[in-house]
Amino acid sequence: MLGSRGVATYRLEFYEDERGDKPVLRWIREELTREQRTALGRAMRDVLQEQGIGVCGTEFGRPSAVR
C-alpha cells in the first residue's frame, strides 16, 4: 500500500495485555487533551505510518541524550 507521499504505509499496532487492555490507547483517550491527541495522531500518521521502522534513523527516532 502506498501513502500520500508515494511511500509504503505501515499499520500501527499497540501492545495489548492478557486482559485485552491497550494501555497506550487508554492513555491517549483519557489523559491527553484534544489538541494533544490531534498532534499525536498527525505525528503517528505523517511520521510513523509513512516511515515505519525507518523512523529510527531520523530526528524523530533518535533517543534523547541521557543527562
- Tens digits of residue pLDDT in 8-46: 588 889 999 999 999 999 999 999 999 999 999 998 888
Q: Is the pLDDT of residue 66 over 60?
A: no
Mean pLDDT confidence for 46-51: 86
Cα dihedral across residues 54, 59, 62, 63: positive or negative: negative
Instruction: State whether residue 19 is helix, strand or coil.
Output: coil
Q: How confident is the model at residue 47 (pLDDT cuts 50, 70, 90)?
A: confident
Alpha-carbon distances, residue 62 vs 6, 34, 53, 54, 59 (angstroms) = 24, 26, 12, 11, 6
| Residue 67 reports pLDDT greater than 50 | no
Task: Decide: 48 and 9 in contact? Cβ < 8 Å.
Answer: no
- Can you give the three-state secondary structure of 21-38, one letter per residue? CCHHHHHHHHHCCHHHHH
Residue 4 pLDDT greater than 80, yes or no: no
